[in-house]
Amino acid sequence: MPNAESGTGRIDTSGIGQAVSRLSNGSRNAGKGAFFVLACTLDDDEIVEVVVQCRYRGADGAMALTNKRLLIVNARQWNPDVTPVALESGLTVQGWQDERSAALVFERGGAELVVDKIGDREVVQDLVGRVRARVDR
């Protein structure tokens, strides 16, 4: 239900609020800045399917799978990193987890993107499954 109203009376047409609601309280709090960057980066017709809070390039970040792409951002002050990832053939994802967090490496053509310190392991497993399914089509 991506058109849920937020407390401000505005409509969340991207569905980011609903996706963030799946996360733990700690992830929601730690990701506030990155979720804002993410929301500002989405295209008008883009819908968030799954989002996780993470660490990206040394700063608090967020990674979202949308109806169009995978988007990885961080909340580095004054200069956030925003990295779109096309869900195309040749993209691979590897993951590791321990009892506290998970890490992912996305690779295509020798280029790697590393996302770590993901606390919501069940949600990130869902995200990885969806990414792999879309790349394998």
Q: What is the pLDDT of residues 14-54, one digit of tens each?
A: 999 999 999 999 999 999 999 999 999 999 999 999 999 99
Quote the CA–CA distance of 128 and 134 in Å, as a whole number: 10
Average pLDDT, the chain: 93
* Helix, strand, coil percentages in the chain from 3-state DSSP, rounded to 5: 25, 35, 40
pLDDT higher than 60, residue 6: no
* 12 vs 81, more confident: 81
Please, are residues 115 and 104 in contact by the beta-carbon 8 Å criterion?
Answer: yes
Whether the CA torsion 84, 103, 49, 110 is positive or negative: it is positive
- Give the predicted TM-score (pTM) of the model: 0.90
CATH for 16-135 is: 2.30.29.30
Whether residue 1 is predicted with pLDDT greater than 50 in this model: the reply is no
Q: Is it the case that residue 9 has pLDDT exceeding 50?
A: yes
C-alpha torsion sign, points 90, 57, 36, 98 = positive
pLDDT in tens, 83-113: 999 999 999 999 999 989 999 999 999 999 9
Q: What is the pLDDT of residues 118-132, one digit of tens each?
A: 999 999 999 999 999
